Amino acid sequence: MQLNARIPSGPIEQLWDETRFNMKLVNPANKRRHSLIVVGSGLAGGSAAASLGELGYNVKCFCFQDSPRRAHSIAAQGGINAAKNYQNDGDSVYRLFYDTVKGGDFRAREANVYRLAQISVHIIDQCVAQGVPFAREYGGTLTNRSFGGAQVSRTFYARGQTGQQLLLGAYQALERQVQAGTVAMYPRTEMLDLIVIDGHARGIVTRNLVTGEIDTHLADAVILGTGGYGNVFYLSTNAKGSNVTASWRAHKRGALFANPCFTQIHPTCIPVSGDYQSKLTLMSESLRNDGRIWVPKKKGDKRPPNQIPEEDRDYYLERRYPSFGNLVPRDVASRNAKYVCDEGRGVGETGLGVYLDFADAIRRLGRKAIEERYGNLFDMYQRITGEDPYEVPMRIYPAIHYTMGGLWVDYHLMSSIPGLFVIGEANFSDHGANRLGASALMQGLSDGYFIVPYTVGDYLATNKLEKVNESHSEVRNAVACVQQMTQKLLAINGKRTVDSFHRQLGKIVWDYCGMSRTAEGLQTAIDQIRELREEYWHNVRVPGSGDDFNQSLEKAGRVADFFELAELMCVDALERNESCGGHFREEYQTPDGEAQRDDEHYSYVAAWDYRGYGNREELVKEPLEFEYVHPSQRSYK
């Protein structure tokens, strides 16, 4: 199979303008004759559905929560990047582009990243116009803070609730369209399959999560904004409901899955505290603006932090990376936390933790200033740990947070199935092998408000789509597949809960395909995943029936998909014999422990083509070319 990423040629700063100009438009009167399906109502899906509705298309929007307002996007804390240069500190579209390509360790597409940086400035205007209450300076101008991997302050924020405020903006825009009749909202409805007819995405099969009813919805194009798959690790900072099912079922219908092993481990999460924990909590990266990270210099130093004098502390990020200090990118900060803990210098009961200390900042700026910047995060930390971070340093440790991999898309954000568009965290994204902080919200909103509304129009205007109806054999086939899987899961009647399998699967993936990986470990993981998956299909217990509300059944389908994805992640990680960004293969590192890329052999997007249950997927490569930001060893020293 050959992949055509449809990257236009010409000077990079003109590519998106020219592409838009060359796109075919749908006449306003014809738009209402087209029906579109948007799965997902987070920042990506919500903004896309609202924008497409505003344009006049007939949109159906689906989510599994009871309200679009509860999408996982609401959890985003720290902020959203934009190259506005309000701080006059040297930022520009080009610098955001440069930082993102470098931050992603040269595994992202230049054309997409440049467009993202260009659009970033419009996102802020759009959100301000919607009334999103971004933090402001005393005089009223929008203020910024810094995030990892950048030496400028370009992150716009609303305290530690940026995602929530942005989502309320998108939600209001969406509800306005619901009111206007252009968008029909389907909450508590889960997409369980994609309907592909004559090679084009034409609809979805859904299950009503309250009544159990299985239904079909047909349309001229389908847009997935269904989020990331970090919960394959069981423990992650993602919302408990986040899952890969929509993307995975589309993958099984022919959409290529790209770079599945590129997962992000976030350095500042509250450490795991016990075996029965089911969720991890993020402490936003924004805290690294003012918090200083350290561990004791001596192994096994168990003194309380306030009794460890300055000379016995190792501010290891400031020491190793004097230029970026505590604001090195996430992959670098996470790996370094692991190194010091592996050396036996970790803190807390488990030894898997490092300090994030605000004492200096409180002395310098006063407690009130810190409260204003991070108050809700400090409260959250105190409620969870029982410790007061104004008095003692926070304890943090890396945790799974974001997935850079996802369904492969071309420059138009269309997958390898014509008519299936993928946006937000669900696509393989613009972030390469490591995402810089505050760039996911930027990407989701860029995709939803500013890219798919154009590219979907072009698709509709250039493809003549026949009418289809429920009696089509592909529709009936997709419904039968969903029904069979539901029945199969309910009929196993084994001895173990879905959660117990998920927890065990997550541990395998974390141990062997987490913060660091080896060829041997990945092979072990593949064997163990296969074995556990076999047991799952014989021994899982899914109580209740398919005819009504049944959360075990919901989870069972999602975990079945996680099993298959987990294997592909390990296969992908094993195939990539280099280290880049969040993909750290221990065999490939520089003498001082940094990721060692192999541009000659691995400068490509690895897109995987499904080959049937249990079979090895076929690797299709999209070569990456760097005309503007030349690949070099990433240095934050």
Least distance (Å) from ligand FAD to the CB of residue 285? 7
Which of 51, 77, 165, 334 is in the footprint of ligand FAD by CB under 6 A? 77
Per CB under 6 A, does 441 bind ligand FAD? Answer: yes
Of the candidate spans 292-300, 435-443, 456-464, 629-637, the one that interacts with ligand FAD by CB under 6 A turns out to be: 435-443
Per CB under 6 A, does 425 bind ligand FAD? Answer: yes
Burial 445-480 (b: 16+ CB within 10 A, else e): bbbbbbbbbbbbbbbbeeeebeebeeebeebeebbe
Q: Residue 252 burial by CB count (10 A; 0-12/13-18/19+): exposed, middle or buried?
A: middle
The footprint of ligand FAD on residues 110-169 (CB under 6 A) is 162-163
Q: Which residue has the tokens 């005309």?
A: 627
Residue in 404, 426, 411, 103 with CA at minimum distance from that of residue 259: 404
Residue 424 DSSP class: G
Per CB under 6 A, does 56 bind ligand FAD? Answer: no
With respect to ligand FAD, which residue has the nearer C-beta, 246 or 317?
A: 246
Least distance (Å) from ligand FAD to the CB of residue 334? 15
In the annotation, is 530 catalytic? no
> Distance between CA atoms of 426 and 444, rounded to whole angstroms?
9
The footprint of ligand FAD on residues 244-303 (CB under 6 A) is 245-246, 282, 284
Catalytic residue among 288, 330, 373, 576: 330
Which of 41, 112, 216, 268 is in the footprint of ligand FAD by CB under 6 A? 41
Per CB under 6 A, does 440 bind ligand FAD? Answer: yes
Which of 56, 78, 453, 521 is in the footprint of ligand FAD by CB under 6 A? 78
Q: Which two tokens stand for residue 439?
A: 């760039």
Least distance (Å) from ligand FAD to the CB of residue 318? 23
Q: Which residue has the tokens 């997007």?
A: 605
> Distance between CA atoms of 544 and 54, rounded to whole angstroms?
42
Question: For the chain, how long is the longest CA-to-CA vector?
Answer: 75
Q: What are phi and psi of 432, to 5 degrees?
A: 65, -135
Which of 3, 16, 26, 42 is in the footprint of ligand FAD by CB under 6 A? 42
Reported residue count of the chain is 637
Residue in 128, 99, 102, 96 with CA at minimum distance from that of residue 115: 96
The footprint of ligand FAD on residues 505-534 (CB under 6 A) is none
Q: Which one-letter amino acid corresponds to residue 68?
A: P
Strands 80-81 vs 214-218: parallel, antiparallel or unpaired:
unpaired
- Whether the CB-CB separation of 508 and 529 falls below 8 Å is answered with yes
Q: Which one-letter amino acid corresponds to residue 97?
A: F
Which of 118, 242, 289, 528 is in the footprint of ligand FAD by CB under 6 A? 242
With respect to ligand FAD, which residue has the nearer C-beta, 31 or 72?
A: 72
Which of 62, 324, 381, 636 is in the footprint of ligand FAD by CB under 6 A? 62
With respect to ligand FAD, which residue has the nearer C-beta, 316 or 397?
A: 397
> Distance between CA atoms of 293 and 504, rounded to whole angstroms?
31
Per CB under 6 A, does 57 bind ligand FAD? Answer: no
Active site residues: 330
Interacting residue ranges for ligand FAD, rule: CB under 6 A: 39-45, 62-65, 71-73, 75-80, 162-163, 190-191, 225-228, 237-238, 242, 245-246, 282, 284, 401-402, 424-426, 438-441, 444
